[in-house]
Amino acid sequence: MNEQHTDFDPAVAPDDAPEPSPAAPAADESARQALLRVRAEVAKAVVGQEPTVTGLLIALLVRGHVLLEGVPGVAKTLLVRALSAALDLETKRVQFTPDLMPGDVTGSLVYDARTSDFSFRAGPVFTNLLLADEINRTPPKTQASLLEAMEERQVSVDGVSRPLPDPFIVAATQNPVEYEGTYPLPEAQLDRFLLKLTLPLPDRGDEIEVVRRHSAGFDPRDLAAAGVRAVAGAAELDRARNAVARVTVAPEVLGYIVDIARATRSAPSFQLGVSPRGATALLGTARAWAWLCGRGFVTPDDVKALALPTLRHRVGLRPEAEMDGVSADGILGSILASVPVPR
């Protein structure tokens, strides 16, 4: 099984960040604080996993999608449900199974006997937050039904394109590929995900807290009873996105991002390096992370913090490297250590 890594550590940094610039609009800071409060609401239902929650917020800020990987039972589905409740966004869930058809996700034309005509019945993809549960348990044909939705934010059925709501994000969960009954996601689909976040097993203290909550009567199906409430919505998210777009990036930091991407293409252990799409994705995630930390500019540390979750699924290991037990995260870590950091 691949190594489990803890990703960037946003559990502390945003709250410990310096005060924002006095020139920052009050509405921007209000939106930032609202999004940071989302983590506290999710924590009422999910123990730990703060990095994953912040990763999902970053994806929302830059209109990206997230792939959550972890063994069964680490609260992947519960986390997404709690996040949607804290953000007051419409959420729909699709359980991906071997017999799921593309139309079950996107919708299909249905014959109406009263009018002797066909009408479109929208699928669950028409929502703000789509939970694609265990996406790698369905064949590639059905996985591909999400490609247009994720890239162009629309669904085409019978030659007619129908726009999806805004905001729209796919939060897909998957079990590690070594598990029985899973299908590897195609490279084209993996590249559509902004971030791949790994959810490790909890440490002993967190696991004791999970068991304690259940002993006290916690019901994961009833988030309202757990006290999870909406503390942000579409208005705050829209203001936050506009603020993130104003975060500045110095030319030397842009060069640093490109140098990291180019280094992956020449790494001996990779048969597939990071594409220009991956470099622009790293730019977007670093800007969102900088803004969540209360800064209006990106530092090289922001780039380093988001490099693993943004790039790990965009590279491909050579077979001999896999046989030697080398991980993508390990190689990316070596690249980050070797690429010169701008001063």
| Per-residue model confidence as pLDDT tens digits over 319-328 | 888 888 888 9
Which amino acid belongs to residue 333? G
Output the CA torsion 315→319→324→329 (10° steps). Answer: 10
Residue 218 forms part of a structural domain: yes
Tell how far CA 294 is from the center of its chain.
21
249-275 confidence digits (pLDDT tens): 999 999 999 999 999 999 999 988 999
pLDDT band at 179 (very low <50, low <70, confident <90, very high): low
Q: Is residue 169 part of a domain?
A: yes
For position 145, which CATH number holds?
A: 3.40.50.300
Is residue 10 domain-resident?
no
How many other CB atoms are found less than 10 A from the CB of residue 215?
8
| C-alpha distances in Å from residue 76, one per residue of 112, 161, 207, 292, 314 | 39, 31, 15, 23, 22
The residues pairing with 122 across neighbouring beta strands, listed in sequence order, are 107
Whether 13 is in a domain gets the answer no
Q: Which of 232, 259, 293 is the last residue of a domain?
A: 232
Q: Are residues 138 and 99 in the same domain?
A: yes
For residues 242 and 258, give the distance between their C-alpha atoms in angstroms, rounded to a whole number: 24
Q: Is the pLDDT of residue 285 over 70?
A: yes
Paired strand residues for 121: 108
In a shared domain, residues 178 and 35: yes
Residue 283 sits in the same domain as residue 321: yes
User: Can you give the residue range of the structural domain that contains 311?
Assistant: 247-343
126 and 264 assigned to the same domain: no
pLDDT score recorded for residue 257: 97
pLDDT value at residue 321? 80
* Domain presence at residue 283: yes
Average confidence score pLDDT of the chain: 85
Could you tell me if residue 4 is inside a domain? no
pLDDT digits (tens, 9 = 90+) for 100-151: 888 889 888 887 777 778 888 888 999 999 999 888 888 888 888 888 889 8
pLDDT in tens, 213-226: 888 888 888 888 88
| Kind and range of the H or E run holding 27 | helix 26-42
Residue 177 and residue 33 share a domain: yes
pLDDT higher than threshold 70 for residue 180 = no
Rounded mean pLDDT, 49-59: 90
Do 228 and 252 belong to one domain?
A: no
| Domain assignment present for 14 | no
Condensed to tens digits (0 to 9), the pLDDT of residues 198-245 reads 888 888 998 898 899 888 888 888 888 888 888 888 888 899 999 999
What's the CA gap between 57 and 64, in Å, rounded?
10
Residue 266 confidence (pLDDT): 92
- Confidence band, pLDDT 50/70/90 cuts, at residue 19: very low
Distance of CA 33 to the CA centre of its chain: 20
**What is the model's pLDDT at position 11?**
36
> Is the pLDDT score of 292 beyond 80?
yes
Predicted pLDDT at 299: 96
Q: What is the pLDDT of residue 139?
A: 82
pTM of this structure: 0.86
* Same domain flag for 74 and 50: yes
Pick the last residue of a domain from 232, 257, 287: 232
Predicted local distance difference test score (pLDDT) of residue 258: 97
Q: Are residues 283 and 335 in the same domain?
A: yes
In this structure, how many other beta carbons lie within 10 angstroms of the beta carbon of residue 73?
A: 8
- Number of domains composing the chain: 2
Is 265 in the same domain as 326?
yes
What is the structure's pLDDT at 8? 54
Contacts of 340 (CB under 8 A, 6+ apart): 259
Pair (51, 175) in one structural domain: yes
Given a contact cutoff of 8 angstroms between Cβ atoms, the answer to whether 98 and 205 are in contact is no
How would DSSP label each residue in 100-161? --HHHHHEEEEEETTTTEEEEEE-TTSSSEEEEETGGGS-HHHHGGGHHHHHHSEEEETTEE
Q: Could you tell me if 224 and 291 lie in one domain?
A: no
Confidence band for 4, pLDDT divided at 50, 70 and 90? very low
The predicted structure's pLDDT at residue 181? 66
Give 14 or 58, the one with higher predicted confidence. 58
* pLDDT value, residue 16: 39
Task: Give Cα separations from 135 to 2, 7, 42 (angstroms).
Answer: 19, 21, 23
CATH of the domain at 283: 1.10.8.80
Task: Tell me the mean pLDDT in the region 68-78.
Answer: 84
Say yes or no: 25 and 69 in one domain: yes
- pLDDT category at 164 given cuts 50, 70, 90 is very high
Residue 168 lies in a domain: yes
Report pLDDT for 178.
Answer: 57
Report yes or no: 41 and 231 within 8 Å, Cβ to Cβ.
yes
